[in-house]
Protein backbone atom coordinates (compact mmCIF):
# COMPACT_ATOMS: atom_id res chain seq x y z
CA UNK A 1 0.00 0.00 0.00
CA UNK A 2 1.10 3.51 -0.63
CA UNK A 3 2.85 5.33 2.15
CA UNK A 4 2.09 8.98 2.49
CA UNK A 5 5.37 10.69 1.51
CA UNK A 6 4.73 13.05 -1.39
CA UNK A 7 6.35 11.99 -4.66
CA UNK A 8 4.98 14.52 -7.10
CA UNK A 9 3.20 17.74 -6.33
CA UNK A 10 1.18 19.84 -8.74
CA UNK A 11 1.02 23.40 -7.40
CA UNK A 12 -1.63 25.77 -8.79
CA UNK A 13 -0.85 24.87 -12.40
CA UNK A 14 -2.37 27.02 -15.12
CA UNK A 15 -1.99 26.24 -18.82
CA UNK A 16 -3.24 28.52 -21.57
CA UNK A 17 -2.79 27.64 -25.24
CA UNK A 18 -2.64 30.50 -27.71
CA UNK A 19 -2.92 34.17 -26.92
CA UNK A 20 -5.47 36.97 -27.10
CA UNK A 21 -8.80 36.06 -28.62
CA UNK A 22 -7.60 32.54 -29.49
CA UNK A 23 -6.50 31.74 -25.94
CA UNK A 24 -7.85 28.44 -24.66
CA UNK A 25 -7.57 27.57 -20.99
CA UNK A 26 -6.48 23.94 -20.73
CA UNK A 27 -5.75 23.87 -17.00
CA UNK A 28 -7.13 26.18 -14.35
CA UNK A 29 -5.40 26.31 -10.92
CA UNK A 30 -4.91 22.57 -10.62
CA UNK A 31 -3.27 21.39 -7.39
CA UNK A 32 -2.82 17.92 -5.92
CA UNK A 33 -0.15 15.61 -4.53
CA UNK A 34 0.74 12.10 -5.60
CA UNK A 35 2.07 9.85 -2.85
CA UNK A 36 5.16 7.69 -3.02
CA UNK A 37 4.48 4.18 -4.45
CA UNK A 38 0.98 5.14 -5.37
CA UNK A 39 -1.11 4.07 -8.36
CA UNK A 40 -2.65 7.44 -9.11
CA UNK A 41 -5.15 8.02 -11.91
CA UNK A 42 -6.17 11.18 -13.74
CA UNK A 43 -9.70 10.53 -14.91
CA UNK A 44 -11.88 12.71 -17.08
CA UNK A 45 -13.61 13.01 -20.43
CA UNK A 46 -11.54 13.87 -23.50
CA UNK A 47 -10.52 17.52 -23.57
CA UNK A 48 -10.56 17.85 -19.78
CA UNK A 49 -6.84 18.65 -19.63
CA UNK A 50 -5.56 15.35 -18.22
CA UNK A 51 -3.21 14.64 -21.13
CA UNK A 52 -1.94 18.24 -21.06
CA UNK A 53 -1.18 17.80 -17.37
CA UNK A 54 0.67 14.55 -18.09
CA UNK A 55 2.72 16.26 -20.82
CA UNK A 56 3.58 19.02 -18.35
CA UNK A 57 4.83 16.42 -15.88
CA UNK A 58 6.92 14.75 -18.62
CA UNK A 59 8.30 18.13 -19.74
CA UNK A 60 6.79 18.21 -23.24
CA UNK A 61 4.70 21.25 -22.30
CA UNK A 62 5.55 24.17 -20.06
CA UNK A 63 3.23 25.58 -17.42
CA UNK A 64 1.76 29.04 -17.93
CA UNK A 65 1.77 29.47 -14.17
CA UNK A 66 2.36 27.24 -11.15
CA UNK A 67 4.91 24.54 -10.46
CA UNK A 68 5.57 20.82 -10.64
CA UNK A 69 7.66 19.47 -7.75
CA UNK A 70 9.29 16.03 -7.60
CA UNK A 71 10.31 15.06 -4.06
CA UNK A 72 10.48 18.74 -3.19
CA UNK A 73 12.56 19.71 -6.24
CA UNK A 74 11.24 22.10 -8.89
CA UNK A 75 10.85 20.35 -12.24
CA UNK A 76 9.43 23.20 -14.29
CA UNK A 77 12.77 24.32 -15.77
CA UNK A 78 14.10 20.86 -16.60
CA UNK A 79 13.80 19.53 -20.19
CA UNK A 80 12.29 16.03 -20.62
CA UNK A 81 15.68 14.33 -20.94
CA UNK A 82 16.77 15.64 -17.54
CA UNK A 83 13.70 14.46 -15.61
CA UNK A 84 13.79 11.11 -13.78
CA UNK A 85 10.32 10.42 -15.17
CA UNK A 86 9.44 8.03 -18.00
CA UNK A 87 6.33 7.76 -20.11
CA UNK A 88 4.31 4.98 -21.72
CA UNK A 89 2.85 6.71 -24.76
CA UNK A 90 -0.68 6.22 -25.98
CA UNK A 91 0.41 4.74 -29.30
CA UNK A 92 3.58 3.34 -27.72
CA UNK A 93 6.01 5.33 -29.97
CA UNK A 94 8.37 2.33 -30.16
CA UNK A 95 11.51 2.93 -32.23
CA UNK A 96 10.69 0.99 -35.42
CA UNK A 97 14.29 0.39 -36.49
CA UNK A 98 15.38 -1.09 -33.16
CA UNK A 99 14.69 -4.55 -31.79
CA UNK A 100 12.64 -5.12 -28.67
CA UNK A 101 15.79 -5.46 -26.55
CA UNK A 102 17.33 -2.33 -28.12
CA UNK A 103 14.15 -0.38 -27.43
CA UNK A 104 14.20 -1.45 -23.79
CA UNK A 105 17.91 -0.68 -23.37
CA UNK A 106 17.69 2.77 -25.01
CA UNK A 107 17.14 4.76 -21.81
CA UNK A 108 19.87 2.87 -19.95
CA UNK A 109 22.34 3.55 -22.76
CA UNK A 110 21.47 7.25 -22.74
CA UNK A 111 22.15 7.26 -19.00
CA UNK A 112 25.56 5.73 -19.70
CA UNK A 113 24.99 2.52 -17.74
CA UNK A 114 27.52 -0.29 -18.20
CA UNK A 115 27.01 -3.08 -20.70
CA UNK A 116 26.60 -5.86 -18.14
CA UNK A 117 24.20 -3.83 -16.01
CA UNK A 118 22.15 -2.85 -19.06
CA UNK A 119 21.93 -6.42 -20.35
CA UNK A 120 20.80 -7.70 -16.96
CA UNK A 121 18.22 -4.96 -16.53
CA UNK A 122 16.82 -5.53 -20.05
CA UNK A 123 16.52 -9.26 -19.35
CA UNK A 124 14.76 -8.51 -16.04
CA UNK A 125 12.33 -6.09 -17.69
CA UNK A 126 11.51 -8.50 -20.54
CA UNK A 127 10.85 -11.22 -17.96
CA UNK A 128 8.59 -8.84 -16.02
CA UNK A 129 6.40 -8.27 -19.10
CA UNK A 130 6.72 -11.91 -20.34
CA UNK A 131 8.52 -11.06 -23.58
CA UNK A 132 11.84 -12.92 -23.10
CA UNK A 133 11.28 -14.81 -26.35
CA UNK A 134 10.70 -11.64 -28.39
CA UNK A 135 13.96 -9.82 -27.56
CA UNK A 136 15.27 -9.85 -31.14
CA UNK A 137 11.99 -9.05 -32.89
CA UNK A 138 11.23 -5.67 -34.44
CA UNK A 139 8.16 -3.80 -33.08
CA UNK A 140 6.36 -4.33 -36.41
CA UNK A 141 6.52 -8.09 -35.82
CA UNK A 142 4.59 -7.86 -32.54
CA UNK A 143 0.88 -7.75 -31.74
CA UNK A 144 -0.68 -4.64 -30.19
CA UNK A 145 -0.62 -6.19 -26.72
CA UNK A 146 3.03 -7.16 -27.08
CA UNK A 147 3.97 -3.66 -28.30
CA UNK A 148 2.20 -2.27 -25.26
CA UNK A 149 4.34 -4.47 -23.00
CA UNK A 150 7.53 -3.38 -24.78
CA UNK A 151 6.55 0.27 -24.23
CA UNK A 152 6.02 -0.53 -20.55
CA UNK A 153 9.33 -2.38 -20.21
CA UNK A 154 11.16 0.43 -22.04
CA UNK A 155 9.75 3.07 -19.70
CA UNK A 156 10.39 0.98 -16.56
CA UNK A 157 13.96 -0.03 -17.46
CA UNK A 158 15.68 3.18 -16.24
CA UNK A 159 13.80 2.77 -12.91
CA UNK A 160 12.13 6.19 -13.04
CA UNK A 161 10.96 7.98 -9.91
CA UNK A 162 7.54 8.33 -11.52
CA UNK A 163 6.04 6.43 -14.46
CA UNK A 164 3.47 8.27 -16.58
CA UNK A 165 0.97 6.20 -18.58
CA UNK A 166 -1.06 8.00 -21.25
CA UNK A 167 -4.17 5.89 -21.93
CA UNK A 168 -1.92 2.91 -22.60
CA UNK A 169 -4.75 0.37 -22.81
CA UNK A 170 -7.05 2.27 -25.15
CA UNK A 171 -5.75 0.57 -28.32
CA UNK A 172 -6.25 -2.97 -26.98
CA UNK A 173 -9.35 -5.11 -27.30
CA UNK A 174 -11.61 -5.62 -24.28
CA UNK A 175 -10.31 -9.01 -23.06
CA UNK A 176 -6.68 -7.91 -23.31
CA UNK A 177 -7.51 -4.61 -21.64
CA UNK A 178 -9.07 -6.35 -18.65
CA UNK A 179 -6.09 -8.68 -18.40
CA UNK A 180 -3.60 -5.81 -18.63
CA UNK A 181 -5.38 -3.93 -15.81
CA UNK A 182 -4.57 -6.70 -13.38
CA UNK A 183 -1.05 -7.04 -14.75
CA UNK A 184 -0.31 -3.30 -14.62
CA UNK A 185 -1.42 -3.12 -11.01
CA UNK A 186 0.72 -6.15 -10.19
CA UNK A 187 3.77 -4.64 -11.94
CA UNK A 188 3.27 -1.39 -10.05
CA UNK A 189 3.24 -3.25 -6.74
CA UNK A 190 6.24 -5.41 -7.71
CA UNK A 191 8.41 -2.51 -8.84
CA UNK A 192 7.28 -0.04 -6.17
CA UNK A 193 7.37 2.78 -8.73
CA UNK A 194 4.83 5.60 -8.50
CA UNK A 195 2.41 5.28 -11.45
CA UNK A 196 0.40 8.19 -12.81
CA UNK A 197 -2.19 6.79 -15.16
CA UNK A 198 -4.33 8.86 -17.52
CA UNK A 199 -7.65 7.48 -18.74
CA UNK A 200 -11.18 8.41 -19.70
CA UNK A 201 -12.40 4.94 -18.76
CA UNK A 202 -13.91 5.02 -15.27
CA UNK A 203 -13.87 1.24 -14.95
CA UNK A 204 -10.11 1.24 -15.58
CA UNK A 205 -9.66 3.96 -12.99
CA UNK A 206 -11.83 2.30 -10.34
CA UNK A 207 -10.27 -1.14 -10.75
CA UNK A 208 -6.58 -0.15 -10.57
CA UNK A 209 -6.10 3.07 -8.66
CA UNK A 210 -5.11 3.76 -5.09
CA UNK A 211 -6.44 7.26 -5.64
CA UNK A 212 -8.20 9.01 -8.49
CA UNK A 213 -8.24 12.66 -9.51
CA UNK A 214 -11.37 13.47 -11.49
CA UNK A 215 -10.95 16.34 -13.91
CA UNK A 216 -13.35 18.28 -16.07
CA UNK A 217 -12.93 21.38 -18.23
CA UNK A 218 -9.38 22.04 -17.02
CA UNK A 219 -10.33 21.90 -13.35
CA UNK A 220 -9.80 19.35 -10.65
CA UNK A 221 -13.19 18.09 -9.42
CA UNK A 222 -12.29 15.62 -6.70
CA UNK A 223 -9.36 13.55 -5.45
CA UNK A 224 -9.95 10.39 -3.48
CA UNK A 225 -9.94 6.61 -3.39
CA UNK A 226 -12.20 4.69 -5.76
CA UNK A 227 -14.72 4.15 -2.94
CA UNK A 228 -14.74 7.80 -1.92
CA UNK A 229 -15.24 8.97 -5.47
CA UNK A 230 -18.02 6.48 -6.11
CA UNK A 231 -19.76 6.50 -2.75
CA UNK A 232 -19.28 10.14 -1.80
CA UNK A 233 -19.02 12.22 -4.94
CA UNK A 234 -18.48 15.87 -4.18
CA UNK A 235 -20.41 17.43 -7.00
CA UNK A 236 -22.84 16.84 -9.81
CA UNK A 237 -20.09 16.22 -12.40
CA UNK A 238 -18.33 13.51 -10.40
CA UNK A 239 -21.55 11.75 -9.45
CA UNK A 240 -22.71 11.76 -13.04
CA UNK A 241 -19.36 10.85 -14.66
CA UNK A 242 -18.48 7.93 -12.35
CA UNK A 243 -20.98 5.13 -12.74
CA UNK A 244 -24.68 5.74 -13.11
CA UNK A 245 -26.75 7.81 -10.78
CA UNK A 246 -30.11 9.49 -10.24
CA UNK A 247 -29.76 13.24 -9.74
CA UNK A 248 -32.59 15.11 -8.05
CA UNK A 249 -33.12 18.81 -7.46
CA UNK A 250 -34.38 18.60 -3.89
CA UNK A 251 -35.89 21.06 -1.41
CA UNK A 252 -34.17 21.28 1.97
CA UNK A 253 -36.66 20.71 4.75
CA UNK A 254 -34.40 20.70 7.79
CA UNK A 255 -30.74 20.55 8.75
CA UNK A 256 -29.63 18.36 11.64
CA UNK A 257 -25.92 19.18 11.43
CA UNK A 258 -24.58 15.95 9.89
CA UNK A 259 -27.21 15.64 7.18
CA UNK A 260 -30.18 17.19 5.53
CA UNK A 261 -33.78 16.15 5.37
CA UNK A 262 -34.78 16.73 1.77
CA UNK A 263 -37.83 16.33 -0.40
CA UNK A 264 -36.82 14.92 -3.79
CA UNK A 265 -40.38 14.58 -5.08
CA UNK A 266 -43.83 15.25 -3.69
CA UNK A 267 -44.37 12.68 -0.96
CA UNK A 268 -40.80 11.44 -1.07
CA UNK A 269 -38.73 12.78 1.80
CA UNK A 270 -35.47 11.28 3.03
CA UNK A 271 -32.24 11.88 4.92
CA UNK A 272 -29.23 12.77 2.76
CA UNK A 273 -25.56 12.76 3.83
CA UNK A 274 -23.68 16.01 3.54
CA UNK A 275 -24.25 19.59 4.43
CA UNK A 276 -24.98 22.81 2.61
CA UNK A 277 -25.54 25.59 5.14
CA UNK A 278 -28.00 28.31 4.18
CA UNK A 279 -29.28 26.49 1.11
CA UNK A 280 -32.99 25.90 0.57
CA UNK A 281 -32.44 23.76 -2.51
CA UNK A 282 -29.73 21.23 -3.30
CA UNK A 283 -28.76 18.50 -5.70
CA UNK A 284 -29.01 14.94 -4.38
CA UNK A 285 -27.54 11.78 -5.91
CA UNK A 286 -28.84 8.26 -5.35
CA UNK A 287 -27.14 5.29 -7.08
CA UNK A 288 -29.59 2.99 -8.91
CA UNK A 289 -28.42 -0.10 -6.96
CA UNK A 290 -29.30 1.57 -3.65
CA UNK A 291 -32.97 1.86 -4.57
CA UNK A 292 -35.20 -1.17 -4.04
CA UNK A 293 -38.18 -1.85 -6.24
CA UNK A 294 -41.10 -3.67 -4.64
CA UNK A 295 -44.82 -3.59 -4.04
CA UNK A 296 -45.07 -2.27 -0.46
CA UNK A 297 -46.54 1.06 -1.63
CA UNK A 298 -43.98 3.28 0.20
CA UNK A 299 -43.44 5.49 -2.84
CA UNK A 300 -45.76 4.40 -5.64
CA UNK A 301 -44.51 4.45 -9.22
CA UNK A 302 -45.17 2.95 -12.64
CA UNK A 303 -42.60 0.89 -14.55
CA UNK A 304 -41.77 2.75 -17.76
CA UNK A 305 -39.32 0.33 -19.33
CA UNK A 306 -36.75 -2.23 -18.33
CA UNK A 307 -33.28 -3.06 -19.62
CA UNK A 308 -32.10 -6.61 -19.04
CA UNK A 309 -28.31 -6.73 -18.49
CA UNK A 310 -27.65 -10.33 -17.46
CA UNK A 311 -26.45 -9.92 -13.89
CA UNK A 312 -29.10 -7.32 -13.23
CA UNK A 313 -32.02 -5.41 -14.67
CA UNK A 314 -32.44 -1.65 -14.92
CA UNK A 315 -36.01 -0.49 -14.27
CA UNK A 316 -36.88 3.00 -15.45
CA UNK A 317 -39.80 3.96 -13.24
CA UNK A 318 -41.92 7.10 -13.20
CA UNK A 319 -43.08 8.68 -9.96
CA UNK A 320 -46.49 10.29 -9.56
CA UNK A 321 -45.06 13.73 -10.31
CA UNK A 322 -43.49 12.50 -13.54
CA UNK A 323 -39.87 12.23 -12.31
CA UNK A 324 -37.97 9.37 -13.93
CA UNK A 325 -35.87 7.17 -11.60
CA UNK A 326 -33.51 4.37 -12.59
CA UNK A 327 -33.49 1.35 -10.28
CA UNK A 328 -30.98 -1.47 -10.56
CA UNK A 329 -32.19 -4.85 -9.33
CA UNK A 330 -29.98 -7.89 -9.18
CA UNK A 331 -31.31 -10.85 -11.11
CA UNK A 332 -31.30 -13.41 -8.33
CA UNK A 333 -33.97 -16.08 -8.56
CA UNK A 334 -37.50 -14.87 -8.64
CA UNK A 335 -36.84 -11.23 -9.46
CA UNK A 336 -36.34 -11.73 -13.16
CA UNK A 337 -39.43 -10.70 -15.01
CA UNK A 338 -41.18 -9.65 -11.82
CA UNK A 339 -42.23 -6.33 -13.33
CA UNK A 340 -43.22 -5.51 -16.86
CA UNK A 341 -43.64 -2.07 -18.46
CA UNK A 342 -46.88 -0.51 -17.25
CA UNK A 343 -46.94 -2.40 -13.94
CA UNK A 344 -47.59 -0.48 -10.73
CA UNK A 345 -44.75 -0.81 -8.21
CA UNK A 346 -43.10 1.12 -5.43
CA UNK A 347 -39.54 2.15 -4.60
CA UNK A 348 -37.67 2.68 -1.36
CA UNK A 349 -34.24 4.17 -0.84
CA UNK A 350 -31.65 2.39 1.31
CA UNK A 351 -30.55 4.34 4.40
CA UNK A 352 -27.45 6.44 3.74
CA UNK A 353 -27.81 6.11 -0.03
CA UNK A 354 -28.72 9.72 -0.74
CA UNK A 355 -25.79 12.14 -1.05
CA UNK A 356 -25.92 15.92 -1.05
CA UNK A 357 -23.91 17.39 -3.92
CA UNK A 358 -22.33 20.73 -4.59
CA UNK A 359 -23.49 21.84 -8.02
Partner 1 sequence: MAGLVPSSGKSAAFAPARIWLMLPSWASIGFFLLLPVLLMLVYSFLTKEFRGGVVWEFSLSSYDRFFLDRGLFGDEPPQIEWTYIAIFWRSAWQAGLATILCLIVGFPTAWFIATRPSHTRSLWLFLITIPYWVNLLIRTVSMKFLIRDNGPLNEWLMAIGLIDAPITMINTNFAVQLGLFYSYLPFMVLPIYAAVERYNFALNEAAADLYAPKWRVLWLIVLPVVRPGVIAGCILVFVPSLGAFLAPDLLGGAKNWMIGSLIEDQFKGAAGNWPFGAAVAMVLLSIVLVVLFIYARSHARASEQ
Which residues here bind partner 1, judged by CB under 8 A?
A: 58-60, 79-82, 85-87, 89, 91, 93-97, 106-107, 110-111, 154-155, 158
Sequence-distant (≥ 6) Cβ neighbours of residue 14 within 8 angstroms? 25, 27, 28, 29, 30, 63, 64, 65, 66
When the beta carbons of 114 and 322 are compared against partner 1, the nearer one is: 114
Distance in Å, CB of 277 to partner 1, minimum = 48
Residue closest to 197 by CA, chosen among 183, 185, 186: 185
When the beta carbons of 4 and 110 are compared against partner 1, the nearer one is: 110
When the beta carbons of 30 and 156 are compared against partner 1, the nearer one is: 156
- Which DSSP state fits 79? -
Residue closest to 62 by CA, chosen among 53, 71, 70: 53
Distance in Å, CB of 167 to partner 1, minimum = 13
Distance in Å, CB of 111 to partner 1, minimum = 5
Extended beta strands in the chain, E state: 6-17, 24-35, 39-43, 65-70, 73-74, 85-88, 162-166, 194-199, 211-216, 219-224, 246-255, 259-265, 268-273, 281-286, 291-294, 299-308, 312-319, 324-330, 344-349, 355-357
Distance in Å, CB of 95 to partner 1, minimum = 6
Q: Order across the sheet with 291-294: list the strands.
A: 291-294, 344-349, 299-308, 312-319, 324-330
When the beta carbons of 40 and 106 are compared against partner 1, the nearer one is: 106
Distance in Å, CB of 271 to partner 1, minimum = 51
Instruction: Identify whether the C-beta of residue 147 lies closer than 8 Å to the C-beta of residue 139.
Output: yes
Distance in Å, CB of 266 to partner 1, minimum = 57
When the beta carbons of 136 and 244 are compared against partner 1, the nearer one is: 136
Amino acid sequence: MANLATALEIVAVDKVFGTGANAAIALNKVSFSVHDNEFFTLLGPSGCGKTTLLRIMAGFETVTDGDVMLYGKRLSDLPPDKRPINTVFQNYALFPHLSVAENVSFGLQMLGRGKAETAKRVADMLRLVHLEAMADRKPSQLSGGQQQRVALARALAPAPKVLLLDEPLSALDLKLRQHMRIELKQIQQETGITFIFVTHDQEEALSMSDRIAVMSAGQLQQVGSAEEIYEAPKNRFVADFIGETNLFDADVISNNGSGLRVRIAPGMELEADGNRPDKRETCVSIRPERIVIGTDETVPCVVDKLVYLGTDTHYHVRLGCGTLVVVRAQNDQGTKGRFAPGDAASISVAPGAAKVLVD
